[in-house]
Amino acid sequence: MKQQITLWIAGLVALFGMSSCLEVEQVITLKKDGSGTITEEVVMGAQIVTMLEGLPAGANAENPFADLHNVEKYKAKAADFGKGVVYSGMEKIERNGGKGVKVTYTFGDINNVVLSPGSAMDDFDEEGKGVKDDPLKFAYAGGVLTVTVPEPAEGEESAEKEAPGDFEVNPDDPAMQAMMAQMFKGMKISTKLVTATGIQKADATYVKDDTVTLMLMDFDEIMKNPNGLKALQKMEGAKRAEIAEALKGVKGVEVETRKEIRIKLK
């Protein structure tokens, strides 16, 4: 699971330089026969939209908002989710003055699917500095889905590449906390697995109704925690037990830390 939280933050600060109000959601929907869909929804807030729509157009313009509706990019991206995953369609979204996109991919067999929670944020890592984790792997048979969660990638290599003057987050600085709370107001990133027929039994950490949450970062809730930013920084390059310990008592963050989880469909 992508653990380079401050690199996400730094990239977004460099890109937007203002309150982000960015919502990113990945959902895997699994049918009883093992087929299903992957959807990625990205919605940018009204302030971001106003800024990006003011950028110059053209083939050479670096306009991430225009790139958001690039169908060919999504067709090519389908292969990243594994063998047999294909692009299905794109839907433009307009919500509360914000704009975004919902992209749908389909798969015939979840056994061939691979996915890194939070990978939709890679589009905002313009310099490619984020450490890439191994993806989740899925094994489905007899109505039971087994999800293997890889050990988080270590961050030492990325840290070494940071140059003097790179954006730094000091979680103990009240002024920094106030700035980050305003800057990331309304920002939410999540990856979920939904079963079309419901869940009979699951040993995942975060289960509600027919949904298993694999990763959730609700920055409005995180910033209400006195140690919210500090907890996120402790996650970088940490092992499972360390991540679980860092998240104790911190609302707004849900990260699956078990090595393997099993979900029995109804």
Distance CA 10, CA 129 (A): 10
User: How confident is the model over 24-78, as pLDDT tens digits?
Assistant: 999 999 999 999 999 999 888 877 777 766 666 544 555 556 677 889 999 999 9
Greater model confidence, 89 or 218: 89
User: How confident is the model over 79-108, as pLDDT tens digits?
Assistant: 999 999 999 999 999 888 888 899 999 999
Angle of helix 228-235 relative to helix 174-183, nearest 10 degrees? 80
Q: Mean pLDDT throughout 155-164? A: 43
Q: Indicate whether 264 pLDDT > 50.
A: yes
Q: Which position has the token pair 């950028």?
A: 55
Q: Mean pLDDT throughout 212-228? A: 84
Distance CA 54, CA 48 (A): 10
Roughly how many angstroms between the first and final C-alpha of the chain, as a whole number? 28
User: How confident is the model over 244-253, as pLDDT tens digits?
Assistant: 777 777 888 8
User: How confident is the model over 130-151, as pLDDT tens digits?
Assistant: 445 678 999 999 999 999 988 7
Q: Where are the alpha helices (DSSP H) in 44-137?
A: 46-53, 64-67, 71-77
Phi, psi of 120 (to 5 degrees): -65, -20
Sign of CA dihedral 224, 230, 231, 236: positive
Greater model confidence, 134 or 254: 254
Give the pLDDT confidence score for residue 133 in this predicted structure: 63
Q: Do residues 197 and 31 lie in contact, with contact meaning Cβ atoms separated by under 8 Å?
A: yes
Distance CA 216, CA 250 (A): 12
Strand locations in the chain, DSSP E? 22-30, 36-44, 86-95, 98-107, 114-115, 136-141, 144-148, 188-195, 199-202, 207-208, 211-218, 253-255, 260-265
Give the residue among 43, 124, 129, 138 at the shortest CA–CA distance from 81: 138
Q: Do residues 11 and 124 lie in contact, with contact meaning Cβ atoms separated by under 8 Å?
A: yes
Structural domain boundaries enclosing 160: 5-265
Q: How confident is the model at residue 153 (pLDDT cuts 50, 70, 90)?
A: low
Distance CA 152, CA 131 (A): 10
Number of structural domains found in the chain: 1
Q: Which amino acid is at 107?
A: F
Q: Do residues 212 and 146 lie in contact, with contact meaning Cβ atoms separated by under 8 Å?
A: no
DSSP 244: H
